[in-house]
Structure formats: C-alpha cells, structure tokens
Amino acid sequence: MTSKEDDGPAPRTGGASSQAKKRFVKATARASAENAQRLIDGQAWDDLCDSIRRAGREMLDMQIPWSGPDYVDAFQYLAGIVTGGIRQAVDHFDPHVPQWVYNGTTVKHSGDNADNRYMIARLEPTSDYRITGVRGNCFDIMFEISEGYMQQGDFKTFATLSFNQSFRAAPDDTFEILISASPQEGNWLPLHPEGRQLTGNSGSAGPTVTAGGLVFVGATSDRRLRAFESKTGAELWSTRLDAQVNANPMTYRGRNGKQYVAAVATDSLVVFALP
C-alpha cells in the first residue's frame, strides 16, 4: 500500500469536507504537542500501564467461576489484544508511510469471527492512498475504513468495498484500489474525515442474489446486513444486527406468499420480509 500526497487527483476544496480537514489538521498539531509532553514527563507510559491494569481487574471482577486453565486463556487473550494494539500504535504509527499489520494467529480480535486474520493500516484523512494486489484464489477480499483500532460500543465503519459487492479485478486477477476524499474512477473507497484505520480481510460469507436483482450480503465487521442493486451496485438497505453474519444469506417464499431473506449471525437466525 502506498500513500500519494504530491500526485494524483487534487482533493476537493470548499464545503463541509474541506472545513473538517482543516479542523483535523489543527487538532492533530495540538494533540501532537500535548502527546509529546506526556511522553517526556512519563504520563503516557503511566496511562498505558494503568489501562492494562484496569483491563485485568475488570476481567477478574466478572465473578465467573473459572478454573485455572480458564484464567490462563483469559490473560493470554488479553495479552494478545494488548500486543496487537501496541504493535500498531508504536511500530506502524505513521499514516504517511502506511504498512499492513497482521494480527497473526495468536492475536485474536475482540469482535465476532475471532479466528479470522485481519490486516490493519493507519490512515490520515487528508492524504490519498493506493492499494495494489493479486486476488489469487480468495473467494472474497474486503476492505473497510473505520474510526480506529478495536473500538468498543457503536463501531463506526465509514466505507466498505469487497469482491462480492462492487469490487472488480483485472482479467489476470490484479487489482487497484484508490482511497481518497474525492471520487475516483474504478475501485474507490471514500475517505471520511474521521477515518483512521483501514482493515483488510478475507470475507467469511458470500452474497445471495434474488431473481429481482437484489444482492444480500453480510460478513462485515460493522455487523450489518446489506442489500444492493445488482446492476448498479447501489446500496438500497442495511440494518445493524447483534452479531456478525457468518454465512451466506438465503431467501425463500413463505406460506403467506411473501418473500423473506434470512441470515445466520453467529448463533442467531434473523429473518426479514421483502416489501
């Protein structure tokens, strides 16, 4: 993945997007000075150690009747999450020289589909980026732009692109993706002013296409089930579920004559009626 700052299409000027970028640049400069001082006086290190200590205490305070091996697994999981976060924050912190960070086989993601391997890279909203690669034998490849690393609560995903939606590769399986605030030809991921992280992974579930030209697909980390128009790729509908869709959606006609779409989200079956 490369960052393009001196060439390529010029960013948009004027409007809310331009103002958001200016605010981001000012806030980043102010935060950089504050963080530098926190590093010099040792406050940053103390805060890191305190946060790890609190995470361990919260796990112990859950009052679950664990056995000895359960505690080993729990702290191993926590250590893996901390390791992944520190690697990204320290070893690959510069969004102007982005690098993929693989979570590996021992660092498990705290969301659904924990055994999936994710690639993570830092982004800076005022830059343009280009990703190139080869699809190979992957059934699906998905890229998402989100607010940050392993966010809790309402995880904000600003843009998603996958082969099962509108992502296209050349006949030789090579592909190129452009990431920028301004629209681009071909495979384009819009860069949101709050976008800080690019996540890439192989999708765990494929799409289902109806006779009427609707494409239903889940398998994104924002836990949404989406419907697209097959001819244009336009998103027509989406809903946020309690868990991530981890199987191909299915569609069927009920006894009442209505058509339904169903999907398995981790350990639940969700069903929606088509209008």
The least confident of 76-85, 100-109, 202-211 is 100-109
Rg of the chain in Å (alpha carbons): 21
Query: Which phi-psi region, left, alpha or beta, contains residue 230 (left: φ > 0; alpha: ψ -120 to 50)?
Result: alpha
The least confident of 21-35, 44-58, 63-77, 121-135 is 21-35
Q: Which residue has the higher pLDDT, 88 or 189?
A: 189
Percentage of the residues of the chain whose pLDDT score is greater than 70:
76
The least confident of 82-91, 111-120, 141-150 is 111-120
> Which three-class secondary structure state does DSSP give residue 49?
helix
**pLDDT, tens only, 182-207:** 999 989 999 998 888 888 877 666 78
**CB 176 within 8 Å of CB 187:** yes
Q: Which residue has the higher pLDDT, 203 or 5?
A: 203
Mean pLDDT of the chain: 79
What sign results for the dihedral spanned by CA atoms 99, 138, 149, 217? positive
Query: Which phi-psi region, left, alpha or beta, contains residue 153 (left: φ > 0; alpha: ψ -120 to 50)?
Result: left
Q: How high is the pLDDT of residue 53?
A: 93
**CB 98 within 8 Å of CB 123:** yes
Q: Which of 14-28, 152-166, 243-257 has the highest mean pLDDT?
A: 243-257
Where are the domain boundaries for CATH 2.40.10.480 in the chain? 206-275
pLDDT tier for residue 12 given thresholds of 50, 70 and 90 = very low
* pTM across the whole model: 0.58
The least confident of 134-148, 232-246, 257-271 is 134-148
In 71-207, beta strands by DSSP E: 101-102, 119-122, 128-134, 142-146, 157-162, 174-180, 188-190, 197-201
Give the list of residues 6+ apart from residue 242 with CB closer than 8 angstroms, or none. 223, 265, 268
Topology of the domain covering 206-275: Thrombin, subunit H (2.40.10)
